[in-house]
Structure 1
Amino acid sequence: MRDTMKIVMLFLAAVLVLSACGNSSKNADNPKREDATIMYENEKEGGTMNTGGGYGFNKFDLEIDVDGKDVIDVEYEVAKNHRAKYVNKLAGLNLKAQEAFNELDPLFVKFATKKSLSEKDVKENIMEWFGVDTYTKFDLEIDFDDGTKMVIEDHK
């Protein structure tokens, strides 16, 4: 009887250990399975760098003309269809969607979230970023997440 009890106890211990360590998921052994992603509520509505809200603004519209010709045109808007467009005739770029977003991301990270900068500093930083020395038209509109706007219009 004692040997039978030991065998039963050993069997139950083995079952508990194996069931606690097991993974019965379909993808448990698949090396290409996707890990779970944590998504916060505001990410669904544009609250990260990938969807725009992380920059501190939801609209960025810039147009720079040199000698009366459109040279730089940036349109970025966080909306249901999150869109971006970037045209830089000096660099020969005409990008849309994700390609435009990838090119604009460093600019947005560096300058756009600093709404405490003066209009003069913002204009100088943007001109330096794009490598433009002079302009005949500089139009910038930024709609910040808190409802404030920055509008710079300068025509020479």
Structure 2
Amino acid sequence: MKLFKIAGTVALTSVLLLSGCGNFGKNADKPKREDADIIHEHEKEGGSLETGDGYGFTSFDLEIEVDGKDVIDADYDINETADADYENKLKNIKLKGNEAMDQLNKLFMDILITKDTPQQEVIDKILKWYQLDSYSKFKIEVDFDDGTKLNIDDIQ
């Protein structure tokens, strides 16, 4: 009788242990189940610098003229896919696609503009990046993730 109690206790303990630690869910037999990811609210909207997913804007268009001559053209637009063009006539650089994106990434990460950055600060940061002291025309249009826009069109 004592043997049956011990065997019954071992069997019951084994069943409870297997059911508690086992994997009997609906995805138990799938070898590569995906764990739940935590998604930040801004990542659903397209990302921002704060979430590490994007630059905080969906469109960036920059044109700078010096002495009436076009010297800098930078275009970045992300809709379904990212599209980038970059031209720096001062350094004889003309890039498209991934190569342009590599160059623009350096610019974006250095200037770090947001919707709250004052316009003069945006101009100063970009001029410093390109090592320009002056310009005859400075035009920038940025569409931020939250729908706000930055438009600067300055002619000197």
TM class by shorter-chain length? Answer: 0.5 to 0.7
SS in 1 for 2:112: helix
2:81 counterpart letter in structure 1 = N
SS in 1 for 2:154: strand
Q: 1:93 to 1:51 in 2, by over 3 A?
A: farther
CA RMSD of the aligned region, Å?
3.3
Q: Give the aligned partner of residue 131 of structure 1.
A: 131
Deviation string for 1:40-59 (max 9, x for gaps)?
5653331344654x62x433
Q: Give the aligned partner of residue 30 of structure 2.
A: 26
SS in 1 for 2:61: strand
Q: Give the aligned partner of residue 112 of structure 1.
A: 113
Q: Give the aligned partner of residue 97 of structure 2.
A: 96
Q: Tell me, which stretches of 5 or more residues in structure 2 are unaligned?
A: none
Deviation at 1:102, TM superposition (A): 4.8
Give the Cα separation in 1 of the matches to 2:10 and 2:102.
60
Q: Tell me, which stretches of 5 or more residues in structure 1 are unaligned?
A: none
Give the Cα separation in 2 of the matches to 1:65 and 1:35.
51
**TM-score calculated relative to the size of structure 2:** 0.67
- % identical aligned pairs: 44
Give the Cα separation in 1 of the matches to 2:146 and 2:30.
45
Deviation at 1:125, TM superposition (A): 1.0
Give the Cα separation in 1 of the matches to 2:16 and 2:116.
59
Q: 1:149 to 1:45 in 2, by over 3 A?
A: closer
1:137 counterpart letter in structure 2 = K
Deviation at 1:126, TM superposition (A): 0.6
2:139 counterpart letter in structure 1 = D
1:155 counterpart letter in structure 2 = I
